[in-house]
Chains A and B, each alone.
Chain A
Amino acid sequence: MSETNDDYILEVRNLCRKFGSRKILTDVSFKLKRGEILIIMGGSGCGKSTLLRHIIGSLKPDSGEIFIGGQEITKLDDRGMAKVRKRFGMLFQTGALFNSLTVGDNVALPILESSDVSSSIAELVVKLKLELVGLTGFEHLKPAEISGGMKKRVGLARALALDPELLFCDEPTAGLDPVMTSVIDTLTVDLTKKLGLSAVVVTHDMTSAFRIGTQMIMLFEGRVIAQGTPEEIRNNPDPILRQFINGDADGPIPLKLSKDDYLKRLMQVE
């Protein structure tokens, strides 16, 4: 049994995963201290969503270890995993609210399902959580009746329903306007400070990444190519990282995914 330091809420060690012969994650390692916000960034298809799915236990790695609050999770069965999952909350990219339930019932769901609390207590907790994300009074609406930004905030309230130690956010600001992006960012920072929780945020929105992150890692082709505080990342001379942060079209990041010769393929057309 390997040991971990209790200061770290999350630790990933030498994580590797292949889909068929394609390497998606190669030797990914990082640590997250309690109370910090870790940003995982990288372009589309770099493996960041796959990495997150491994950490929440939806996927199992080929090799490597993941520790959440000191417990190794890659070898847990469904029941063990369900226990660990009570310690973290997750905000999904689209909110993943249940359309048949009202906003209030969506937030109440993890509370009612995980324990035998009475519905009046659950209702009280729902009010507290909705107040945290600034949506008091919206309990009775259905997800279809509220905007995209509000859905994400409800998703956040639901992720916080069981008072987790660790919060995962998958592209929390994708598809939102700049103001709503800022609202979600401020909320994430506030909540980590107020509630003392740690967060892992997957994003490719650089403005929001530098606004909320206290630790950052950059994934490229399934490898961690840079790691550090926002300051260190900003001063990192790595050309791939520079291109990604500045959003330049020209640089070392390959645009073409096909490797055979374009001209040759053109000539093959009869």
Chain B
Amino acid sequence: MLFAYAQLSLRAFAALFAPLFGGKRWRLSALFTQMVNIGVASMPTVAMANFLLGIVLAIQGAGQFQKLGATDLVASLVAFSILREIGPLITAVIVIGRSGSSITAELGTMKVAEEIEALNVMGIDPVKFLVVPRLLAMIIMMPVLTVLGEGVGLFAGWLISVTSLHLNPIFYVTNSIAAVEQKDLFTGLLKALVFGGVVGTVGCFYGIQVEGGAEGVGKATTKSVVTSLTSMLAADALLTTLIYFT
């Protein structure tokens, strides 16, 4: 199982990077279709989730900081946690639920309908034809969505702080900027990049190995979502630890 996953991932990444070393070029139209499916269509949901979490973070932070008489610190809390952790994490959760699952279901249905075997028989490599556009779209769009989500989350924190917590709108912004470094932003984006790779490979893997009709597609989709979530969290923990100690 793990071996088969590793094998598919290696083949997929090899095919993905092949055009850089003189291999056959990417199928751009397929890539754009997937980027729209995975990325553009996820934007409203990602924005909404990050907006709500930005509000929650600001209000909960304010509740605690008020006891210390340091409500100003809300700005640093929101900025730091959204850029480093909450933004990439909640974006990945939304993408797994929306797009990871749909990749598995789509490829699984194609497998059941003999379409993947048909590709093989036509001498077309399903990894190049189906997996690469989806994986590449995932790897490109996950950081893009994360940046969007982070922006919306920061705005939500600012909005609630200014309107309900009576913080100074300008001081909030300068406090935020003072609280974070460039490293925080890059950490978040690195996480998003890795999450994209994990969700893309896991989603395709479970889709391609579907057996046994509609029931098989359902089971594979469940497994794909659960595995994506747990592996994404594991990758998050690993990256956070690594970055902390470097």
Contact = CB atoms under 8 A, between A and B. Distances in A.
B124 interface: yes
A96 B123 contact: no
14 contacts: A58-B117, A58-B120, A82-B125, A83-B123, A85-B120, A85-B121, A86-B123, A92-B114, A92-B117, A93-B114, A94-B114, A96-B115, A97-B115, A110-B123
Contacts of B114: 92-94, 96
B1 interface: no
A85 B123 contact: yes
Interface residues of B, number: 13
Contact of A113 (B113, B115, B120, B124): B124
Interface string A70-90: 000000001000110110111
Given A86-B123, A109-B124, A96 B129 contact: no
A113 B120 CA distance: 12
Interface in A9-64: 56, 58
Contacts of A83: 123
Interface of B: 110, 113-115, 117-118, 120-125, 129
Contacts, number: 45
Interface centre among B110, B120, B122, B129 (most CB of A within 10 A): B122
B207 to A, nearest CB: 14
B122 A85 contact: yes
Contacts of B125: 78, 82
Given A90-B118, A113-B129, A96 B113 contact: yes
A110 B120 contact: no
Interface string A94-137: 10111000000000011001100000000000000000000000
Contacts of B117: 58, 92, 96
A54 to B, nearest CB: 13
Interface in A128-185: 158, 162
B124 A110 contact: yes
Given A85-B120, A96-B118, 18 more contacts: A58-B121, A78-B125, A82-B123, A82-B125, A85-B121, A86-B123, A90-B118, A92-B114, A93-B114, A97-B115, A109-B122, A109-B124, A110-B123, A110-B124, A113-B122, A113-B129, A114-B123, A162-B122
